[in-house]
Amino acid sequence: MSLFSKLFGKKPNQEAVFVHLDNANLAEEVYEDYDLSTIEDQLIEILADRKLGIFDGNQVGKAGATLYLYGPDAERLFAGIEQTLREYPLCQGARVIIRRGGEGAPDREVRL
């Protein structure tokens, strides 16, 4: 049994939050002054401190970046990170998918 399963009693991929960041439509200063690793570090700290789940990395492409977060309760996970996402300029206009369950489960979208 993994540490995650021991802590939360579920598989880490049971519920998810995906944060899709824009890579083209923000002011140039935002891309110059703010970076992906800073917001990732902030999210990792929040997830650990509040025992909300795990940060599972990112995927970066021309259109933007996607951050992958997993935990036992996607709504609780998003509630725990929402303020941080809204306050970090690189996350302006981000599209957040909150998936309640495993792959193929219903989800909802939030725009920051």
Tell me the pLDDT tens digit for each residue of 2-50.
455 455 554 555 899 999 998 888 999 998 999 999 999 999 999 999 9
Per-residue pLDDT, 72? 93
Contacts of 24 (CB under 8 A, 6+ apart): 63, 64
Q: 7-21, 54-68, 80-94 — which is least confidently predicted? A: 7-21
pTM: 0.85
Contacts of 54 (CB under 8 A, 6+ apart): 4, 12, 47, 69, 70, 71
Provide the CATH topology of domain 3-111.
Answer: Alpha-Beta Plaits (3.30.70)
Could you tell me the residue ranges of all domains in the chain?
3-111
